[in-house]
Chain A
């Protein structure tokens, strides 16, 4: 029986356990038809998690909440190296998991959540959050200057959790000019999100081009649900606040600067449809930061099957 995660498909916290499952071969599925703000308010859900937060894992033996705990549980279901090869490695994996949560994720959220209007925006609090985040990223950058992975010489649970937390930061609020101060963190992040097991779950990541403008604060209340945009367009933030996904697109559309549609019909739109999607190639080209030949050029043949014959990889 597959394990079931109660969360939306765009929830970066649910992705932690899903990526673990890709590495270990365990079957974990997202529950069908999950509606943020609705599904997690039912009495049945609250019996799984009395604080009503998301994600929650359902197993044949009972439920587990808190995304890091879920990821650890899934990682322990089989023998693998996600917890390291020695006890000191284990200690350090736990250390970086906690650091990823308390130093990186919490400060990204303190900066981001008020800006999208789900908590009161207070400039001195934002200043403190950015300052704490920079301090944490500087420490992480120092560590990654001499380490490819957080611990040891391969992906561990620490990398999975750290990367999922950074996905929110990179895609929604940390622009290139912000992260360029931390080049080893940049190198680490792009390498991780392009690993096949990450790519499969997270999808393509585009770095934010600007910091979200300050919205007027919408206080979350018992009845009203704030909104989260969908991830595959714009990788989303952490599901601590209750959110209605269906409202996402209009709200996201207001925020995103879209290219205006030309009103006259372009003759190229009238051509017979093609399997090739130009944007997919452009994204693959842009996001491939390392191993360009192996990933992007090879990827060309998967994106455009008819090209396979032309490329020798």
Chain B
């Protein structure tokens, strides 16, 4: 009797045991008509796995869950070399299986899952995940510099599990520029996925060309099923979250932040198109936590398009009024609220300067177009309370002032900052 795996055909965790079976000749089949989010919620399924996760293996002697355990079980059904030829080889195979799971897979998922909207997206958490993943890939790269396989001189269970975990990373989120730092890992991965037994189960793998953009978070709940795209197109992520494949595309489309269609035509929309995408700058600004100058500021000037956009300094005309700190801060906050109508077309930094009253309020603004947009001047009364001066980007001193205002540099023009507010 064949062993049965309860999982969808695109589940990379189920593929581990299926590839083992290709190597060892054991008959393992996927259950028919498995529906993620439905089949694994039944009482029968929960009796197989009380936590209700996927995959689960059904054998004549009972069930096994956890994809690595299933793969190990299947590998032990016959005599073979998947567990190595010696005890130390066995120890090292287990070591790389755990490494593949705890260092590689877990960090890939910490990066990927929030980006496709199935967990809350938090930039510091993403930064930590990417940093941990790089540390792990560097260690793996070092090992693979002098090893074709993880252990010994042929494919073992460690290679099968490691490769399945890397499939998710390579196909969904790790671009060539990311993995090029780890050339031995790249060489290893492509060699493995092109082995016939892998190719038969995984199919053809194409490397991701970009990192998925941040979606709004959809919390998985008891009744609502989040979505997973199919694997042969885009090798899929780990089936820890319950998912309905058929709902995938429409739901993904709803969640993506589409540019709202303006009710009246905004003249800025009629400008010739620009290579600079304001949202890309806003994301770079927001997500860069370390090496701000080298990453964000440099990135700004790389993407800045002086034909499509313009930079402006503003200086509050009535600083002598700014005698109470929180009143001053509230005034600036109010200005930024009233700028909301301009959000698609503007980015700004407002600095409140000084360690004692009267505080000075100065700002830096990036506007779409080569003028301050008229509709902003018309609608936002704060604009006339400031002196506006266009930034001359050929003047290095002015460029440096721009940089300092973006990064909240202190001391700013010799003084400390009381507050810095960002409009984005």
Residue ranges of A at the interface with B (Cβ–Cβ < 8 Å)? 50-52, 57, 59, 61-62, 64-66, 68-70, 72-73, 76-77, 86-88, 90-92, 94-95, 97-99, 101-103, 106, 119-120, 122, 124-125, 128, 135-136, 138-140, 142-143
Pair B94/A125 contact, Cβ less than 8 Å: no
- Interface majority SS on B: helix, strand, loop or mixed? helix
Residue in A50, A119, A120 whose beta carbon sits within 8 Å of that of B143 in the complex: A50
Residue in B52, B72, B98 whose beta carbon sits within 8 Å of that of A91 in the complex: B72
Q: Which residues of B contact A125 (CB under 8 A)?
A: 120, 122, 125
Residue in B97, B128, B139, B140 whose beta carbon sits within 8 Å of that of A119 in the complex: B128
Known contacts A50-B142, A73-B88, then 10 further A-B pairs from the complex at CB < 8 Å, ordered by chain A residue: A50-B143, A52-B139, A61-B88, A62-B92, A76-B91, A86-B61, A95-B66, A101-B101, A102-B106, A106-B106
CA distance A72 to B70 in the complex (A): 16
- In the complex, 23 of the A-B residue pairs with CB atoms within 8 angstroms, ordered by the A residue number, are A51-B135, A52-B139, A61-B88, A64-B91, A66-B95, A66-B102, A69-B92, A69-B95, A73-B87, A76-B90, A87-B61, A87-B77, A88-B62, A91-B57, A91-B59, A91-B69, A92-B62, A92-B69, A94-B64, A95-B65, A95-B66, A102-B101, A119-B128
B359 to chain A, nearest CB (A): 28
Pair B92/A122 contact, Cβ less than 8 Å: no
CB 8 Å contact bits of B91-111 with A (1 = contact, 0 = none): 110110111011100100000
CA distance A103 to B66 in the complex (A): 10
Closest to B97 in A: A69
In chain B, positions 125-148 with a C-beta closer than 8 Å to chain A are 125, 128, 135-136, 138-140, 142-143
Q: Which residues of A contact B73 (CB under 8 A)?
A: 87-88, 90-91, 94
Closest to A145 in B: B50
Q: Which residues of B contact A94 (CB under 8 A)?
A: 64, 66, 68-69, 72-73
Q: Which residues of A contact B66 (CB under 8 A)?
A: 94-95, 98-99, 102
CA distance A124 to B102 in the complex (A): 22
A241 to chain B, nearest CB (A): 11
Residue ranges of B at the interface with A (Cβ–Cβ < 8 Å)? 50-52, 57, 59, 61-62, 64-66, 68-70, 72-73, 76-77, 86-88, 90-92, 94-95, 97-99, 101-103, 106, 119-120, 122, 124-125, 128, 135-136, 138-140, 142-143
Pair A128/B101 contact, Cβ less than 8 Å: no
Pair A128/B119 contact, Cβ less than 8 Å: yes
Q: Which residues of B contact A102 (CB under 8 A)?
A: 66, 101, 106
Pair A51/B120 contact, Cβ less than 8 Å: no
Pair B59/A88 contact, Cβ less than 8 Å: yes
Residue in A59, A66, A99, A143 whose beta carbon sits within 8 Å of that of B99 in the complex: A66
Question: A73-B94, A88-B59, A124-B122 given as contacts; is B99 within 8 A of A51 (CB)?
Answer: yes
Q: Which residues of B contact A90 (CB under 8 A)?
A: 72-73, 76
CA distance A64 to B95 in the complex (A): 7
Q: Which residues of B contact A139 (CB under 8 A)?
A: 50-52
CA distance A62 to B68 in the complex (A): 24
CA distance A88 to B94 in the complex (A): 19
CA distance A88 to B76 in the complex (A): 10
Pair B69/A68 contact, Cβ less than 8 Å: no
B292 to chain A, nearest CB (A): 15
CA distance A290 to B175 in the complex (A): 55
A97 to chain B, nearest CB (A): 7
